[in-house]
Structure 1
Amino acid sequence: MKTGLSFILNLFLITWLASSSVFAQLRPATFQMSGDHLLESKVNINAGNQECLVALKILISSANAVLPKAPYSIVNKAATPLSGSKNDYLSLAPYWWPNPSTSTGLPYIQKDGQTNPEVNDIKDNSYVRDISRDIWILGLAYYFTDNEQYAAKATELLKVFFLDSATRMNPHLKYAQLIQGDNAVYGTGIVDTESFSELIDGVQLLAGSNSWAPDNQQALQDWFSEYLTWLLTSDKGKKAKIAPNNIGTAYDVQVVTYALFIGNKTLAKSIIEKQTYNRIESQLTLLGEQTYELTRTNAWTYCNKNLAQWFNLANCAESVGINLWDYNSVNGKSLKKAFEWMIPYGGGTKPWPYQQISVFKPEYLTATAREGSAIYKDVDLQLLLSPTHERFIAGAYLELLTTRYY
């Protein structure tokens, strides 16, 4: 705990910053992470707060591990999409397997929650996830230390993956999550780039560095502008838009984040008001149950995944003056109820009554609950978030810097 004169002085400094024009200049323009909390964490680090210094040490260790990595590029895959261009993203639908009823194994059949190892033969999806996490880590490391080597490495990775014509990913997902023997158009592949929202927050933290120049920022915004247009207009994007489950939520998170990144707040606000509000009504029950996710073979996993996306959306909504945290639908459905409904199962006071074919991991809820504790002050989260709770200790330190918490 923070005690003594240093804590009082630090609190005074944070309060002064929040009430001054200096705050607006220093607050990072992130969308899914709270810029207010990031600035507070930076002040705490500079004031010598021991908890934050431990968190910073962990962050720096993670960032240093990225520095020797070679850049990622989807052109390195062995397989080539039907377009003939390896710059086009390619992946296979993970839960689809050879059909035992046909001599060719086609068309593939679905086994929900069971990943076909064939998907690992194409690395594009792992490249997307890895670069997203690496840019997030490097952006944080640069923001908290002002060490230019982290911004330089992030610049190198971003240029190869998005900007250099020979190695970049083309801004579409036409060939994402293909099902062998099935040529129909599905929206599920859109989730393959959901981690780009995390990447964008990392990019925003590079502002002011010598390495990530304004023309780099503009070029990346142009890339995401093209990708956003594809999401809004393609058949695959339109399918994702109308998906009633976590696919639809992931779609909203992405289009809202990308709209904010390119400076189109009008579009971001419109999507939330015209689509996201309706999803709260259609996805949730009055008790907070997630209707569609509870039908999955890994219902706990998907309920947590979807709730985390809802929290990401609520953070983005703050950028356009919308309070999604406390929104109630006309029938009284809300994110708060969805969050509260999950707590007894994550805290262990109730057994999970739905299907979960993989290992039930209560800690899936912990990270979301940390932020929920800062938003919903009246919700009892001590069983989940007690400082002595092993699930809190394991991995909590980095999130002290990045996530609002009780």
Structure 2
Amino acid sequence: MKKISLICVFVLTAVVAFTQERIKLQATNVLKKQVLADADWAMKQKPVTVTAESSPRSAGGKHDFFSEADYFWPNPANPDGPYINKDGQSNPANFVAHRKAMIRFSEIIGALASAYKITGDEKYVKQAVVHLKAWFVDSETLMNPNLLFAQAVKGVTTGRSWGIIDTIHFMEVAQGIIVMEKAKSFDKATLATIKKWFADYIFWLNNSKPGVTEKLAKNNHSACWVMQVASFAKLCNDKVMLDSLRWRYKNVSLPNQMATDGSFPLELARTKPYGYSIFNLDAFTMICQILSTPEDNLWKYETADGKSIYKGINYLYPFVADKSKWTLKPDVMYWNNWPVAQPFLIFGANNFQNQNWFNTWKSLDLKPTVEEVIRNVPVRHPLIWL
């Protein structure tokens, strides 16, 4: 009997590996033309970092990332006074140039790394290194490894812990480096300096007051803290940090944020329940994608009361496959722009061998152009993660 059981395990493992390879091949076929077109664009781009533009409202210096909180507006009763909150309603007049530069950077590195993974052509690595040096190495243009001045609110604060969520767009930069770091064109000194930058940022995220506050948040902000620290720790091969993040997912994030039906109650209570539910599920999915190992597979982990990433995807999938089934109120803004090709669909399909989830993913917008959507989809280059 034991021999038969071992044979069954071997066969099952082989079937899973074959199915995942099939999903990966399908994704490559779907995305190849777009990847090469995006990489062609990226090859023509010059670096733009936080030093390219500044705001007089920033309390930081030339090298400090600065942004203003999206949902804060002038008070009609006191136009020159402190801004007031309008949850879910983005103020287009707020300063977000640094965030846009960061997103552009992630698009460039994601495209170049994807093309390198497909073709093996080192020209993509050479171009990526130019941009990476500008952000993390060059003393004239680099960004300081902290977010002390992110999501400031006029008349209220020079920066908030909530702003740490802005660096989710460094995740594909970190993953792109992982894909390209063994290329001949990636010199070791530059790589070491870049990894030192990310190690310094990991330290700040874990030891600063804003970092700890974000880590202890109860909604998507803490999930995004885990997700991005996991991405950066993977680049730095910080095994102690990676182990601690697996523990946090299993003992804090999953049991405290997910309901037993697979929903996220704190996201459903927002003025954009649909978009925030998708966003948080994408974050949980990427946590599993980044942190899972053969010895500690978060895709298979289930709490004592039955909460799991599979249950989360299974809960939300019907509303993404057919939005008309959504039973709660529509989002206050950008309701018509969701869903797009969400990460939870393709990575869920890959790990649970679900062709329907994959088919839904490829039927949705694979290259969204709405700024608010892009801001909330940190993983837009799935090939570098598969």
- Give your verdict on TM over 0.5: yes
Match of 1:55 among 31, 48, 53: 31
**For residues 360 and 323 of structure 1, do their structure 2 counterparts lie closer, same or farther at Cα, with a shift above 3 Å needed?**
farther
Alignment-derived partner of residue 366 in structure 2 = 395
Q: Structure 2: any 5+ residue segments left out of the alignment?
A: 1-13, 368-379
Shift of 1:256: 1.8
Alignment-derived partner of residue 107 in structure 1 = 82
Alignment-derived partner of residue 333 in structure 1 = 307
Amino acid at match of 1:312: M
**For residues 321 and 72 of structure 1, do their structure 2 counterparts lie closer, same or farther at Cα, with a shift above 3 Å needed?**
farther
Whole-Å separation in 2 of the counterparts to 1:94 and 1:293? 17
Shift of 1:211: 2.3
Whole-Å separation in 2 of the counterparts to 1:394 and 1:185? 34
Deviations for 1:268-300, whole angstroms, at most 9, x for unmatched residues? Answer: 111220355311111111111101110111111
Give the 5 Å matches for 1:337-352.
337-348=311-322, 350-352=325-327
Do the aligned partners of 2:202 and 2:233 also contact (CA within 8 Å) in 1?
yes
Whole-Å separation in 2 of the counterparts to 1:356 and 1:66? 34
Shift of 1:147: 1.6
Shift of 1:252: 0.5
The yes-or-no answer on 1:229 pairing with 2:203 is yes
**For residues 287 and 275 of structure 1, do their structure 2 counterparts lie closer, same or farther at Cα, with a shift above 3 Å needed?**
closer
Alignment-derived partner of residue 263 in structure 2 = 289
**For residues 130 and 246 of structure 1, do their structure 2 counterparts lie closer, same or farther at Cα, with a shift above 3 Å needed?**
same
Match of 2:45 among 65, 69, 80: 69
Give the 5 Å matches for 1:1-400.
52=28, 55-79=31-55, 85-104=61-80, 106-119=81-94, 121-183=95-157, 186-274=160-248, 276-319=250-293, 321-348=295-322, 350-357=325-332, 358-361=334-337, 363-364=339-340, 366-377=342-353, 382=356, 385-386=358-359, 392=363, 394-395=365-366
Deviations for 1:151-194, whole angstroms, at most 9, x for unmatched residues? Answer: 11100011011110110000000000001111286321011000
Of stretches 200-209 and 231-240 in structure 1, the one that deviates more from structure 2 is 200-209
Whole-Å separation in 1 of the counterparts to 2:326 and 2:187? 52
Amino acid at match of 1:233: N
Q: Structure 1: any 5+ residue segments left out of the alignment?
A: 1-14, 20-35
**For residues 184 and 165 of structure 1, do their structure 2 counterparts lie closer, same or farther at Cα, with a shift above 3 Å needed?**
closer
Do the aligned partners of 2:206 and 2:212 also contact (CA within 8 Å) in 1?
yes
Of stretches 337-346 and 226-235 in structure 1, the one that deviates more from structure 2 is 337-346
Do the aligned partners of 1:370 and 1:403 also contact (CA within 8 Å) in 2?
no
Shift of 1:311: 0.8
Whole-Å separation in 2 of the counterparts to 1:251 and 1:401? 23
Which stretches of structure 1, 4 residues or more, deviate above 6 A after TM superposition? none
Number of equivalences: 356
Corresponding residue SS for 1:280 = helix
Corresponding residue SS for 2:194 = helix
% same residue? 26
**For residues 366 and 255 of structure 1, do their structure 2 counterparts lie closer, same or farther at Cα, with a shift above 3 Å needed?**
closer
Deviations for 1:86-110, whole angstroms, at most 9, x for unmatched residues? Answer: 1011000011001112252x22111
Whole-Å separation in 1 of the counterparts to 2:30 and 2:279? 28
Whole-Å separation in 2 of the counterparts to 1:226 and 1:176? 17
Amino acid at match of 2:55: A
